[in-house]
Amino acid sequence: MSKKTSTTSNQAKTSVFNDEQKQLDSRKQALLTESSKGSDLSVTSERVGADFSCKDPSSMSSSYEDGGLYCYEGLKNCHRGKISIIGMGMVGSSYAYSLIQSGLARELVIVDANKDRARGEYLDLSHALSFVPPISIKEGDIKDTSDSQLIVISAGVSQSGPNESRLQLVLRNVAILDKIIPDLVKYAPHANILIATNPVDILVSYTEKIIRTKNLKFMGSVLGSGTVLDSARFQFLLSKHFRINVANVHGMIIGEHGDSELPVWSLANISGMPLKEFALHNGISFNDEIKKEIFTNTRFAAKQIISTKGATYYAIGLSLLKITEAILKDSNTILNVSGTSIPYFGIDPEVSIGYPSVVGGNGIKSRIKLKLSEEEQHGFRESAKVLKNIIDSL
Ligand SMILES: NC(=O)c1ccc[n+]([C@@H]2O[C@H](COP(=O)([O-])OP(=O)(O)OC[C@H]3O[C@@H](n4cnc5c(N)ncnc54)[C@H](O)[C@@H]3O)[C@@H](O)[C@H]2O)c1
pLDDT in tens, 34-67: 333 333 322 212 222 233 334 333 333 333 333 3
Predicted confidence (pLDDT) at residue 88 exceeds the cutoff of 80 = yes
Check if 176 has its Cβ closer than 6 Å to any atom of ligand 1. yes
pLDDT in tens, 261-320: 999 999 999 999 999 999 999 999 999 999 999 999 999 999 999 999 999 999 999 999
pTM of the predicted model as reported, rounded to 2 decimal places: 0.83
Coil, strand or helix at 221: strand
- How far apart are the C-alpha atoms of 89 and 156, rounded to whole Å? 9
Q: For residue 202, how far is its CA from the centre of ligand 1 (angstroms)?
A: 15
Atom of ligand 1 nearest to the CA of 176: 31
Judge whether 257 counts as a catalytic residue.
yes
Residue 387 CA to residue 291 CA, distance in Å, equals 25
> Residue 128 and residue 45: Cα distance in Å, rounded?
29
Which run of H or E residues covers position 281?
Answer: helix 275-281
For 228-393, CATH number out of 3.30.930.10, 1.10.10.350, 3.90.110.10, 3.10.20.600 equals 3.90.110.10
The full length of the chain comes to 394
Bridge partner list, 364: 359
The confidence score (pLDDT) of residue 37 equals 36
**What is the structure's pLDDT at 79?**
81
Give me ligand 1 centre to Cα 371, in Å.
35
Amino acid at 216: L
pLDDT digits (tens, 9 = 90+) for 193-251: 999 999 999 999 999 999 999 999 999 999 999 999 999 999 999 999 999 999 999 99
Question: Which residue CA neighbors atom 12 of ligand 1 most closely?
Answer: 154
Q: What is the pLDDT of residues 327-350, one digit of tens each?
A: 999 999 999 999 999 999 999 999
CA distances from 344 to 103, 171, 355, 368 (A): 37, 29, 10, 9
Q: Of 108, 323, 324, nearest to 229 (Cα)?
A: 323
Q: Please work out whether the CB of residue 267 comes within 6 Å of at least one atom of ligand 1.
A: no
**Ligand 1 center to residue 392 CA distance, Å?**
24
pLDDT at 74: 58
Alpha carbon distance 107, 130 (integer Å): 16
- Cα distance between residue 13 and residue 71, in whole Å: 59
85 lines ligand 1 (CB under 6 A): no
- Measured between alpha carbons, how far is 99 from 312 in angstroms, rounded to an integer? 17
**Is the CB of residue 177 below 6 angstroms from any atom belonging to ligand 1?**
no
Give the pLDDT score at 308.
Answer: 95
* Protein residue with its CA nearest to atom 10 in ligand 1: 197
List, as one string, the DSSP characters of 129-161. GGGSS--EEEE--GGGGTTEEEEEE--S---SS
- Multiple choice CATH, 82-224, 3.30.300.30, 3.40.50.720, 3.40.190.80, 3.40.50.280: 3.40.50.720
Q: Ligand 1 within 6 A of 303 CB? A: no
Please, are residues 70 and 57 in contact by the beta-carbon 8 Å criterion?
A: yes
Neighbours of 39 (CB within 10 A): 8
- The CB of 200 under 6 Å from ligand 1? The reply is yes
- Which atom of ligand 1 is found nearest the CA of 196? 1
Q: Whose CA is nearest to atom 22 of ligand 1?
A: 89
Instruction: With H, G, I as helix, E, B as strand and everything else as coil, classify residue 50.
Output: coil
- Listed by start position, the domains of the chain span 82-224, 228-393
pLDDT in tens, 139-189: 999 999 999 999 999 999 877 777 777 777 899 899 999 999 999 999 999
